[in-house]
Amino acid sequence: MVEIRFHGRGGQGAVVASTILACALFREGKHAQAFPAFGVERRGAPVEAYVRVDDRKVLLRTNVYTPDHVVVLDPTLVQVVDVSRGLKPGGVLLVNADKTPAALQSAGSFAVCTVDASRLALRHRLGSRTHPIVNTAILGALARATGLVSLEAVCEAIHQEVPSYHEANAAAAREAWEAVVFPAAADGGAP
């Protein structure tokens, strides 16, 4: 089983991102489960959403405490929430940031990848200048950074699950797939 934890702020689309990802995984013949974890939070408050995927039916119904991968939709959360808590060695920490992975200073045994999903969302007029909606862009980046799901399945799920601006959201996902910045490595970093 692979577990993914999303960190975002209320109104950014972390919960919708988890649903789109689960739909994309289902399209590829996997069993997937997506659900949020929040209480009475208001717009802008930190929220988490989770996805589990397996080749067999997913029966576990708890929060994700030791994720294989973590996705951060709002880069300011890195300073206020321990977004990498429980992240398994060899996993991917994908952050929406206009910085290189090295600038995020990771002490963990996981790969830090970045993508400027905010810039891409604004470019495709998703959200506003002060509140870009980055969820679809970050999913394109996640597909490339982890290899967990194909970009095609993500784009198909966007068309199915997003209520409007289908082409703009899919275009943001495709551009993000190309724009992921991988950690520096001897082989160039990219998979």
CATH of the domain at 94: 3.40.920.10
Assess contact for 98 and 109: CB atoms under 8 A: no
- What pLDDT is stored for residue 137 in this prediction? 97
Q: Looking at the predicted structure, is the pLDDT value of residue 186 above 80? A: no
Residue holding tokens 């659900």? Answer: 35
Tally of structural domains, the chain: 1
pLDDT tens digits for 128-139? 898 899 999 999
Q: Looking at the predicted structure, is the pLDDT value of residue 189 above 50? A: no
Confidence at 39, pLDDT banded by 50, 70, 90: low
Alpha-carbon gap, residue 73 to 142, rounded angstroms: 11
Alpha-carbon gap, residue 150 to 14, rounded angstroms: 19
Q: Looking at the predicted structure, is the pLDDT value of residue 187 above 50? A: no
Q: Please check whether residue 184 lies inside any domain of the structure.
A: no
Mean per-residue pLDDT over the chain, rounded = 90
Q: What are phi and psi of 110, to 5 degrees?
A: -135, 165
Whether the predicted model's global pTM rises above the 0.95 cut: no
Q: Please check whether residue 189 lies inside any domain of the structure.
A: no
Q: In which domain, by residue range, is 90 found? A: 2-179
Element of type H or E holding 48: strand 46-54
Q: What average pLDDT does range 97-126 have in this prediction?
A: 89
